[in-house]
Amino acid sequence: MKYKICLSHVNLATYSLLKEWLEEKFKDRLSVIDRAYSDEPIHIKIVQVSQLHDWVKVNRLKKHYDCYYILLLDEEWVNTSPLAIRLQIQSLLLNPVKKSAFFRSINEAIKVLDQQKIALIQVKGKKIISVHKTKMKLNESMEHYMLRRLLHEDVHSESEMMESLSLFNENEFPNTVCYVQGFIHLDSHPINENQAVQLICSNFKQEFQGIVPRVYFLPFRRSLIILFRQTDNICCVKDWKEGRATFEKIVERLLKEYRIQIYIGVGSLYNDPLLLHHSFKESKVARALPPYHEVSLRYFEEISKDPDIKKSTEYIEDHFSEEMTAKDVASHVNLSYSHFIRLFKKETGSTFSEYITFVRLRKSVWMLRYTDKTIEEVSDEVGFNTPNYFSSTFKKVIGITPREFRLTKEIIFV
């Protein structure tokens, strides 16, 4: 059988060279097709990756043509080669390609095609599939990769953005980002990290099913980034009552049934995809700062934007371990004591004493987790008067004592 090979997605110089090689050795087995999209069945496609968004084109081609793919990857993009595995590409060659390597790849492609006896048929216009094709979902890893690029502000132009959006089904592109961290209690029937991650993801999927079109999960080692599209007619995520109730239900169930404690920071809603990275940054900030209401759920939109309060909270962050009173901070921001304490409570949801206590506890959590300092040393360094007061306050807010916290295990997301 003579197979059809398409060279339409390589540059002119590479095209001429490859065509010459094919005619030299494979003219009896292969016929070259020049058109990018052909009504004829395609058995082998050769695609050159010379810029990052060529990977998006490859993903799109795979939705149109189920055939044997050979990718020529320019050396400057070799760091993106793992995408070939995610997209299930059969052969990857570095470009400029060596003649011997190219011949080996073509021989392997012909061998596979001969063994499988692939018969390609045309369906629905120009979409070509094989008669033995199994049903496959759209490759989620490519979507996740593009989301990572957006969160890290690696997509700048409108054309790149349109390419990225083409990977997603209509009305499923996320507009809200959550930043999740957590730990596992080891007090009874402890589960491992992989189970914990799976349980967190499955609970989010289950509880948000029917509420949002789709939920995406991006692991960032010590955190899990959860993205979804909020479709209700709201301006602020913090005012989304169904969402808040769902978050709280997930937190409660994971702790009660599986002894998994999670903390969620929620960014603002951004319908412009190019602004999604703002929601990501905000979710990290929300996770780190004291809560307005629940310890386990913090909304960026609840963080005070008042300049005097922002100045005062920054001062607290810088001097948390020192002796500090509300009068000291009020003087620092040039406000009267009475006005300051009323404004502080209104803007942060906490009294001055509650707020500084939480900041000190948050600092102590890091020290308990990552240092060998005694509980007494940690208590003293973060500004508590006595170890006993530190332990009782820690248990009241965190739910366990500092000693018990040291027996928990932080969840490392893959």
Domains annotated for the chain, with CATH where assigned, are 3-136 (3.40.50.2300), 141-302 (3.30.70.270), 308-410 (1.10.10.60)
Q: Is 127 helix (H, G, I), strand (E, B) or coil?
A: strand
DSSP 289: S
* Arithmetic mean of pLDDT, 126-134: 32
Cβ-based burial of 163 (10 A; exposed 0-12, middle 13-18, buried ≥19): buried
**Predicted pLDDT of residue 35:** 66
Give the per-residue pLDDT at 203: 97
Per residue in 256-285, pLDDT (tens digit) is 999 999 999 999 999 988 899 999 999 999
pLDDT (tens digit per residue) in 200-228: 999 999 999 999 999 999 998 899 999 99
The answer to whether the CB of 118 falls within 8 A of the CB of 130 is yes
DSSP code for 333: T
Q: Under a CB-based contact definition with an 8 Å cutoff, are residues 285 and 300 in contact?
A: yes
Consecutive H or E run containing 93: strand 91-95
Q: Is the pLDDT of residue 51 over 90?
A: no
Q: Quick one: tokens of 178?
A: 């959550």
CA–CA gap between residue 87 and residue 262 (Å, rounded) = 32
Q: Which pLDDT tens digit goes with each residue over 347-374?
A: 999 999 999 999 999 999 999 998 999 9
pLDDT tier at 401, thresholds 50, 70, 90? very high
pLDDT number for residue 246: 97
Residue 87: pLDDT band (50, 70, 90) is confident
Cβ-based neighbour number of residue 102 at 10 Å: 20
Peptide bond connecting 96 to the previous residue in cis, omega within 30 degrees of 0: yes
Which residues make Cβ contacts (< 8 Å) with residue 115, sequence separation at least 6?
none
User: What pLDDT is attached to residue 36?
Assistant: 55
- Cβ(52)–Cβ(25) below 8 Å: no
Query: Could you tell me the pLDDT band of residue 116, with boundaries at 50, 70 and 90?
Result: low
Q: Provide the residue type at 404 as one letter.
A: E
Rg over alpha carbons for the chain, rounded to the nearest Å, is: 28
Closest listed residue to residue 411, CA positions, set 202, 187, 224:
224
Q: In a 10 Å sphere around its CB, with 0-12 CB exposed, 13-18 middle and 19+ buried, how is residue 184 labelled? A: buried
Distance of CA 263 to the CA centre of its chain: 16
What would you measure as the largest C-alpha separation in the chain, in angstroms? 91
What count of other Cβ atoms lies within 10 Å of the Cβ of residue 112?
15
Q: Is the pLDDT score of 379 beyond 70?
A: yes
pLDDT band at 120 (very low <50, low <70, confident <90, very high): very low
Q: Which residues contact 300 (CB under 8 A, 6 or more apart)?
A: 265, 266, 267, 268, 282, 283, 285, 286
Give residue 39's pLDDT: 57
The Cα 291–Cα 95 span in angstroms is 52
Q: What is the pLDDT of residue 186?
A: 85
- Cα separation, 389 vs 391, in Å, equals 5
